[in-house]
Structure 1
């Protein structure tokens, strides 16, 4: 039986089994224990601690605010045991009375010497909390705390995650943006903020650009590599949970303020950054506690990059032989580009969280997060078009051409991305049931207003290239740098908006039970999500009557470019002013503008209804989480079929636009099993069998068709060629069956040594294919479409070790090693991190290296494009003047590691981009 396909018989059986558990098993008695775990000074609360009622073998884990509870206990005397890595084991005698609540504040760490009590006073406190939560989790999980984030020069949530085992990041302009898990593309993972799914601001994708979330707004980051039934199933690689700060994370009022300046070596520019946070708990009448937490972060960074890339890679193309005039087919670079970027990146983030605790069992909350991210980018580009010239000589790595064409163009773009997340909810103990619920709203948006792309073209230029590792060497005649020969050839004014909006509702019920003297928990729930993805493209293409404007009318100083001869620059301000003043006189190419605008605009709606049931049970040292999840999806997409019809015989050109709407429904039944076996207090083993899915990206599944029909006559023969690029609303989601097994050793001090293996069998893999000749595409010469392309699988090993020594030294290393059957996008065989550091009450320093081996990206011209291996070295250091004030110095990308993509062989450049080093100096003032 296929576990992914829902079965009425199976669903009925599960419902009967659940009812049997509810009504045929005894509940516990009426006593109650409520506690909170703190330190000797009552200034810190500890989440992730394992708490056990020894005589009853009842176990729980303290929440992020240090609280825990046991409900329905029989009257009697018991021993409460608290285990927390980094502190001595605590045992406390308690007495439970029927219909009474035993309530107490439990202290850990008070038996330790103050100098050794790094749980409370040292910078390792956050790491200790993360390790405890990881150890006691129901599933395989990695955690990063706010304190750990602050120990590295990470600018955003993506970069904070890269140091965890099995995690890699995809970078944009040298800064981490998207997060991948265990070799799986970021589009196939799930991201939530405070339990709420985060829609993506970028057009067409599902992957969330996590560089829009400043690291200062984060309380913790959790990566679940296996899922439980109460989690969303859209997590083939895993699920990332971003938790923002809460007032109840602290024992009293807290505040912090940070200011720093950064310096980018490549651009020789300095940039400011400010952030602050405040939390407090207010005691109201009737024992009600109101917690307020807020944080703000602002960062403005001036930087840039230097780039050289081969458009279309290295492939076969036709060119005229300069000596004979015959057409030849050669292998080489059809076009090579030099690019120079100047960027101002600004990030603003704010969080406001409100918690209302009316009793120990009745809690309500409001979580909000807003982030605004903008790039103000000016790119200058030289395009060497070898295919437009005549061939002088060539080999597999060189080419020399005469009479070729060259473009010099600019991109003047301001792009703004924003994320708004709001969730209101609560939890209540209602007799035998623990109820949790929330309503969430989130919206992501990307705006690209008044983008201006301008092209200048020149002819009869002699040029050549020589392929070599990383960067091709370009040669050109002197006229290649004479702007007086470059005529304004094309102007594009672009206004794009992408909106991704989601409304959700979630309701969960939990009930404790006893089965054959084994303590268990039954949980079931429902979730409804309504999502709309809108891509609105508005392009105006002008291709004539530019008032004889030439490149030298806009000349400026040559940009600083170290990858070859670039030539004089083009003034951003002068070009923008000229277009603004004269645009009304330009010739608008209405057909091309309509094709671009109508063809790339669409609206997709996705409604997901989910239900689940699960059982958690402790049988001696074995903890079991087993259950099923059902997800039904209603998908609807509206776009256009756009056809550009060119008739060269009658010299006509026209465009037809036909609305196109498609609906698709599908559902999945997803069983899972997570096992944790505690061999002893220090040694934990895990096994998981899970089934997950990943829905197609919105651009792949959108209802759009871009068709080109061209009619020509040659020697009296009339021929019509038709080509198309089309979306595929009938795509099925990826389906993955996952197996995980691991062993973890926790030595009792702050640290962990672990090893794990995992296997993923992925069906319905989505690939790009030519589908001409298929049903509906008869008579087409070429049709490109994303289709479900069979299966792919991967097997991996994950190793992790980190330890904080009493001397203050820190050591850490992790590596993930993957063997994949097929070319999985963004899949690297090896991902690794190494950390060495030292810290005490005065100094904290860390040197860290992040490594990712080469990874397949996509196919181009029937050859694979790979991203080369990448290793980045970062340094962070802090000096504490007191418990309240520290100064810090960070250095990022110490070895000036570039981004390099190549076409099949490292000699054949696809993209090379360098960013330079960045240095930061700042200070933080905070409460204890």
Structure 2
């Protein structure tokens, strides 16, 4: 087999040497401000051959006959360009600059806001499969803090929410796990423990240059996405000096705190445009919260409908996002270059939850009352900390070997989730009687009968005191090699291979603690309570979360002290 390959390579070399009548051509399409135009259609000799420019505005042709050819470029929103070119063994075309059609009007027209989306529409039009492409400037028109919120504005995309932010994306109505999320074409691992869904709220919207949603897959895409594929393209190396900044703020009605958002992008080219650099950073801090009620309905043996589970919940959450990306490329010549792209995302999610539950309600209105505080240790701001991180680093190249084009990529991706010292303290009062107002089935309301209560007091006893540690890590090592060649004026071939080594580890440590002196502990705990009643409870002002063990008391407990607790 090795002898055959050597002989084949030799024959190709001899044929190329004996056939100087064929050559290669490469060029770049720009607008008047020297920005690349991806998705432009380049036609040779009146539809004899055609190509579409890539994200950097480059196009190429192989195996063109030497001599003069007519080249025509078309792009939505720009005037067509035609010129005569001369093709030799390896030739390049000077940058072709296209003029915006709006320049023919005798008035001032502002087009910068939509120029990126104009490029996205051209790329979408010229893709073979069914895709939606959205650019950064289109994303920036809306106050979307993460990429999941930006995705929900694309037709055929649905999202699942967590605390008011889009977390998982669903394509064409399929479950989120049926779709894949990629960064620059490489699959992004998931930090979730039992599912393969990728957390889209990890990635700030201002870190992405283009969103590409493929609703049907091509043979050169991973075949593990029944629903579709969401490809996030990070910011590419620029073709000239580029600087951009964004800042924003807001106010949350529940937390009564201000939100902050900052972003910075900086890039340039050096060494006679051979070396390109693009740096981007983003920071977001959002103190938010939510109120909600949850009810479960049952039917008894006589067919009577009643509420079996009744919950009032109050959440306070602070979400902090940090993201950094780097893009580098080095051009050896017009036909060969190497590039590197890396992105790192970190999200810290501090959450406190106060929950009052009427549990196991009977049809006669008898129930147990449960009052629970969710928090963490003092090192985690006395709140449950969920720290999720994703990173993707890829080294790749684009090369031309005679009539054969070669693309290669080597990559490493990692996703992790840590939940240190997640704590719950739960107090219970058994067998309380309630009357239920079921006038509005969507808002059943429970009132304690005379002599009964659902407010935390000395009659309650400790039900649970728990702490949990969680550590999840998923890693991918990836390598891909693709070849492409034009067989004739009307046909071309593309083939390649890909290797992925994936590992995923999940470790959970769960402990339940019992105070050695229960009486003294209960007295101390009930002396440290917080009233979470508010006139702003959104489902209805008639609901109140009530009184709970204070999060600072829960966070201050030394659960590792064997003189105080056993587990």
**Shared fold per TM-score greater than 0.5:** yes
Relative to 1, partners in 2 of residues 1:95 and 1:490: Cα closer, same or farther, differing over 3 Å? same
Per-residue deviation, residues 570-616 of structure 1 (Å, max 9, x unmatched): 3100122135486653232xxxxxxxxxxxxxxxxxxxxxxxxxxxx
Equivalent in the alignment of 2:322: 348
Instruction: Give me the whole-angstrom Cα distance separating, in 1, the residues matched to 2:305 and 2:21.
Output: 80
Instruction: Give me the whole-angstrom Cα distance separating, in 2, the residues matched to 1:281 and 1:117.
Output: 34
Counterpart pick for 1:217 among 207, 215, 239? 207
Relative to 1, partners in 2 of residues 1:218 and 1:99: Cα closer, same or farther, differing over 3 Å? same
Counterpart pick for 2:307 among 317, 323, 333? 333
Matched, 1:293 2:267: no
Equivalent in the alignment of 1:52: 43
Instruction: Give me the whole-angstrom Cα distance separating, in 2, the residues matched to 1:317 and 1:490.
Output: 30
Counterpart pick for 2:445 among 473, 480, 495? 473
Instruction: Give me the whole-angstrom Cα distance separating, in 1, the residues matched to 2:171 and 2:108.
Output: 31
Per-residue deviation, residues 280-328 of structure 1 (Å, max 9, x unmatched): 11125xxx61111111111111010001113xx323579xxxxxxxxx9
Relative to 1, partners in 2 of residues 1:101 and 1:570: Cα closer, same or farther, differing over 3 Å? same
> Quick check: 2:343–2:391 contact (8 Å CA) kept in 1?
yes
Counterpart pick for 1:373 among 335, 347, 358? 347
Counterpart pick for 2:84 among 89, 93, 109? 93
> Quick check: 1:262–1:270 contact (8 Å CA) kept in 2?
yes
Tell me the matched-pair count: 535
Equivalent in the alignment of 1:831: none
Equivalent in the alignment of 1:241: 231
Instruction: Give me the whole-angstrom Cα distance separating, in 2, the residues matched to 1:435 and 1:119.
Output: 42
Matched, 1:496 2:470: yes
Alignment of 1:811-890 (within 5 A): none
Counterpart pick for 1:204 among 187, 194, 201? 194
Counterpart pick for 1:571 among 538, 541, 550? 550
**1 or 2, which has the higher strand percentage?**
1
> Quick check: 1:32–1:73 contact (8 Å CA) kept in 2?
yes
Relative to 1, partners in 2 of residues 1:513 and 1:118: Cα closer, same or farther, differing over 3 Å? farther
Structure 2 unmatched ranges of 5 or more: 1-11, 376-383
Equivalent in the alignment of 1:314: 297
Instruction: Give me the whole-angstrom Cα distance separating, in 2, the residues matched to 1:245 and 1:377.
Output: 32
Equivalent in the alignment of 2:28: 36
Alignment of 1:514-593 (within 5 A): 514=488, 518-543=489-514, 545=516, 547-548=518-519, 549-550=522-523, 552-560=526-534, 561-562=537-538, 563=540, 564-580=543-559, 584-588=563-567
Relative to 1, partners in 2 of residues 1:576 and 1:534: Cα closer, same or farther, differing over 3 Å? same
Instruction: Give me the whole-angstrom Cα distance separating, in 2, the residues matched to 1:296 and 1:365.
Output: 19
Equivalent in the alignment of 2:394: 423
Tell me which moved more, 170-179 or 119-128.
119-128
Equivalent in the alignment of 2:253: 265
Instruction: Give me the whole-angstrom Cα distance separating, in 2, the residues matched to 1:469 and 1:81.
Output: 67
Which SS does the other structure have where 2:113 is aligned?
A: coil
Which SS does the other structure have where 2:95 is aligned?
A: strand
Equivalent in the alignment of 1:357: 331
Instruction: Give me the whole-angstrom Cα distance separating, in 1, the residues matched to 2:177 and 2:96.
Output: 43
Tell me which moved more, 136-145 or 540-549.
540-549
Equivalent in the alignment of 2:407: 436
Instruction: Give me the whole-angstrom Cα distance separating, in 2, the residues matched to 1:32 and 1:200.
Output: 42
User: 1:383 deviation in Å?
Assistant: 1.0
Per-residue deviation, residues 146-166 of structure 1 (Å, max 9, x unmatched): 111111111111111111110
Alignment of 1:751-766 (within 5 A): none
Matched, 1:456 2:427: yes
User: 1:476 deviation in Å?
Assistant: 2.3
> Quick check: 1:489–1:543 contact (8 Å CA) kept in 2?
no
Per-residue deviation, residues 500-519 of structure 1 (Å, max 9, x unmatched): 111111111111111xxx42
Relative to 1, partners in 2 of residues 1:280 and 1:451: Cα closer, same or farther, differing over 3 Å? same
User: 1:533 deviation in Å?
Assistant: 1.4
Instruction: Give me the whole-angstrom Cα distance separating, in 2, the residues matched to 1:232 and 1:75.
Output: 38
> Quick check: 2:373–2:550 contact (8 Å CA) kept in 1?
no
> Quick check: 2:171–2:228 contact (8 Å CA) kept in 1?
yes
Per-residue deviation, residues 169-194 of structure 1 (Å, max 9, x unmatched): 11101101100011011100011101
Tell me the TM-score normalized by structure 2: 0.89
Which SS does the other structure have where 2:37 is aligned?
A: coil
User: 1:54 deviation in Å?
Assistant: 2.6
Per-residue deviation, residues 360-385 of structure 1 (Å, max 9, x unmatched): 11111111010001110000111102
Equivalent in the alignment of 1:137: 127
Structure 1 unmatched ranges of 5 or more: 1-21, 319-327, 393-399, 589-928
Relative to 1, partners in 2 of residues 1:583 and 1:447: Cα closer, same or farther, differing over 3 Å? farther
